Structure formats: structure tokens, C-alpha cells
Amino acid sequence: MARFLHTADWHLGRAFHGEDLLREQAAFVDFVVAAAREAEVDGILLAGDLYDRALPPVDAVRLASEALARLAEVAPVVVISGNHDSAARLGFGAELLTRARVHVATDPARIGAAVEVGGALVYPLPYLEPDLVREPLGVEERSHAAVTEAAMARVRADVARRGAAGAPVIVMAHAFVAGAAGSESERDLAVGGAAHVPPGVFAGADYVALGHLHGPQVVGGGAGRYAGSPLAFSFSEATQRKSVAVVEVPGGASGGSGATSVELLPTPIPRPLATLRGTLDELLADPRLRDREGAWVQATLTDPVRPSDAMERLRARFPHAVVLAFDPQGDQAGAPGDSYQRLRGLDDDELLRRFVADVRGSDADDDELTLLRDALTARRVAEAVA
């Protein structure tokens, strides 16, 4: 039996609708260090997106360095790169960090090499961008499912070679598992459905510590779990209860029997989220909204005519209002709404179609849509290697 703390998607350096979150992220670091120590874990698993972008702010790098040093004093730490991280930058000095009990996995060529922690075999799979890893993994198909299956084939081969009966097998991955629920704050991994990997691809693992999706959830019949992000990064996460998972994993490469026990530790909520709707006067006067005055607020105004200085007036009561939308009712019902509302929830293909239609006044044909998809993919690849 091995005990781990599983966390992911810290996104250090990220802002919430323009508001800095570094102080709240530092408070989470304090929490997770104390939680790991109190739970007496054998290891700590950080399943990708340590940073929010390839070139994180200096203060975010400083906080990450401090966090990893403090966690390593409690137990060995295994970190994989996510789609927001720069694998090259995050992996710098990995060999030296290993001596300090911080194992940073960013190199696809090293997939299949286990990190032995607490009697368990931990197999870290960094984020696998198909266009970058197909060659080193020997894969022809351009999909996340294909490269993840190739990576897992290496994992299974190493488990078989070791013949380590009784040792728990843990896989770490940063991916979108089919059937899981996303939110608005995650960056799409690919255009269309090519980003999804089937849950069965991880067969053979006792536990799959997942990152990428920001809502804590179980996938793949219980063997896989998304830790979720420690903080909400969009209003679509208002109902999520953020947590880290303390997991006790049985041994024997049980082929997906999952963890014997999982304890979810709720993370601190520095500021709640509130979604409000009504006329500006109603929102400013309604006594039932008193408990929302300290929250991050997304407000949709239904006034027939857009009020002047609406955000300034709204912030007089709700100083942390960060999103203002407009959906006129009454005489103006049916008028075009705010662009945020019109585009909210659309997938990449539909966004590309809307872009062409808005700019040119006519729809994109199939060839143009393919060209735009390739441009979007090329941009993501460039960010991944930045």
C-alpha cells in the first residue's frame, strides 16, 4: 500500500479576468504543504500545468521554486509538464532536481522509466502533443489517443520486464479522457475530437493521476481521477468543490481496480463566485444579494437600454465584479447580445466558422476551414516548444 497526494493544474501566474491571483496561489501552497505533511504521504504527484504559460512571470517562477522545495522536504515530488508549460524550460535541471527528491518529467524519450516512490512504480507521462512526439514514440496517426497508447505500451513493457508483483503501478498523465467534463477555463488540446483519449488506454494501472480538466472527477471506472485546479479560473466552475486527493493505492498492477481509498481535502476558497442577472437597479437594491458583495461577480444586465457607467455603478456595491454582459429584455428583446455570450461554449470549429462569417460576411468552405485548423494547431505546437 502506498499513499500519495495528487494535485494538478496550479497555473501559477494566471489572472482571473485581469485580477492577479498570486497571493491566493501562495495560500494554496501553504495549504498543500501542510496537507501532505499531516497525511504522511509517501509521495506527491503534480499532474501538469504548474505554470499558466510557457514564459511565466518571475514571481510565479519564484513561487513554484519555493513550493517544490517545501514539498520535497515532506516527500518525493513527481511533476509532469502540461499543455500550458514549456517542457524545455520546466525540464531544465531535471537531473539535479532528482537529487533533491523532485522528479520533473518532460522528455517523451524517457517515457517508460519508472520513478520508485514509497514502494510504488510511478510512470510520469508528460503532455503529449501528437505533432511533436509521434516520431520519438514511433506513431503514424496524428491523434492524442495514438500517442498515449504508444506511451502506455512502454509503461506495460517496463512493468512486465520488472516482474514487480505487488508493487502499485501509478500512471500520471495530462490529457482529456473521453467522458470527462470540461469547463471554460481549459485550453483545447486540439481542434475537434482528436484530443480525447479513451479511458481504456490506461489499462494496467492501479491509479491514474490526471491533470488538464479543472473539475475534480473520476473517470475510467474509478481507476482514473482528475485532481482539478486548486482555484476556480472561470465562472463555469462556480459549483465545483476544489480539492486535492490523498490516495492509498493497492499493489499488484491490478488492471484498473483503482484505489482502496481516496480522501478529498477541500482547498481554501479565497473568494466565492457569483453569477447575477437582472436590471442594474435590481442588482444594486436587492437585499438578498448582500452575501454576494465580497464575491467575484459576473453580472448580466437585462435593462432594455444599456445603462451608462454600468460597471462603475455595479462595483459600488460589488467591488469584485469582473464580467459584465448585456441581454436586453422588453422592447429590445431579441437584440444581439454581448459577444462573450454569443461565443461562450462554442468549440474551435464553430469559432473558426463564426470568425470567417463575421469578417467576410460569408461562410468558410472546407479548404479554408482545414487551413485555419492547421494554423491553430501550428500555433499550439509553437507554444509547446517555446
Rounded CA separation 164/252 (Å): 8
Nearest residue to 198 via CA among 277, 256, 137, 269: 256
Q: Are 258 and 290 part of one and the same domain?
A: no
Q: Which of 238, 266, 294 is the last residue of a domain?
A: 266
Q: Are 77 and 202 part of one and the same domain?
A: yes
Q: Are 254 and 151 part of one and the same domain?
A: yes
Q: Are 76 and 212 part of one and the same domain?
A: yes
State the pLDDT at residue 194. 61
Q: Are 295 and 191 part of one and the same domain?
A: no
Give residue-wise pLDDT tens across range 139-184: 989 899 999 999 999 999 999 998 867 889 999 999 999 999 998 8
Q: What is the residue type of 224?
A: G
State the pLDDT at residue 341. 58
State the pLDDT at residue 386. 62
> Residue 21: pLDDT band by 50, 70, 90 thresholds?
very high
Q: Which of 266, 295, 323 is the last residue of a domain?
A: 266
Rounded CA separation 267/32 (Å): 8
Q: Does residue 55 or residue 335 have the better pLDDT?
A: 55
Rounded CA separation 339/329 (Å): 17
State the pLDDT at residue 348. 80
Q: Are 242 and 282 part of one and the same domain?
A: no
pLDDT of residue 256 exceeding 60: no
Give residue-wise pLDDT tens across range 261-296: 899 999 999 999 999 999 999 999 999 999 999 999
Q: Are 206 and 259 in contact (CB under 8 A)?
A: yes
pLDDT of residue 334 exceeding 80: no
The three cell numbers of residue 220 are 475510467
pLDDT of residue 58 exceeding 80: yes
State the pLDDT at residue 113. 96
Q: Please, which residues bridge with residue 123 across strands? A: 171
Q: Are 230 and 343 part of one and the same domain?
A: no
State the pLDDT at residue 208. 96
Q: Are 7 and 48 part of one and the same domain?
A: yes
Q: Are 367 and 311 part of one and the same domain?
A: yes
pTM above 0.75, yes or no: yes
Q: Are 60 and 168 part of one and the same domain?
A: yes
State the pLDDT at residue 258. 47
Residue 80 sits at the vertex; the CA angle it makes with 7 and 91, to the nearest 5 degrees, is 135
Q: Are 81 and 105 in contact (CB under 8 A)?
A: yes
Q: Are 196 and 297 part of one and the same domain?
A: no
Mean pLDDT confidence for 313-320: 97
Give residue-wise pLDDT tens across range 98-116: 999 999 999 999 999 999 9
Residue with cell 469584485: 320
Q: In the chain, which ranges are continuous DSSP H helix?
A: 22-39, 58-74, 87-90, 94-99, 130-137, 144-162, 280-285, 310-317, 339-343, 348-360, 366-385
Residue by residue, what is the 3-state secondary structure of 255-324?
CCCCCCEEEEEECCCCCCEEEEEECHHHHHHCHHHHHHCCCEEEEEECCCCCCCCHHHHHHHHCCCEEEE
Q: How many domains does the chain have?
A: 2
> Residue 357: pLDDT band by 50, 70, 90 thresholds?
confident
Q: Which of 233, 266, 299 is the last residue of a domain?
A: 266
Give residue-wise pLDDT tens across range 185-239: 888 776 444 688 999 999 989 999 999 999 999 997 778 999 999 999 999 999 9
- Residue 100 CB-density burial (10 A; 0-12 exposed, 13-18 middle, 19+ buried): middle
Mean pLDDT confidence for 132-138: 90
Mean pLDDT score of the chain: 89
Nearest residue to 295 via CA among 267, 327, 273, 265: 273
pLDDT of residue 335 exceeding 50: no
State the pLDDT at residue 254. 46
State the pLDDT at residue 343. 64
Mean pLDDT confidence for 16-20: 95
Domain of 309 in residue numbering reads as: 273-382
State the pLDDT at residue 321. 97
Rounded CA separation 98/95 (Å): 5
Q: Are 11 and 142 part of one and the same domain?
A: yes
Nearest residue to 348 via CA among 209, 158, 192, 165: 192
State the pLDDT at residue 119. 92
CATH number for the domain harbouring residue 261:
3.60.21.10
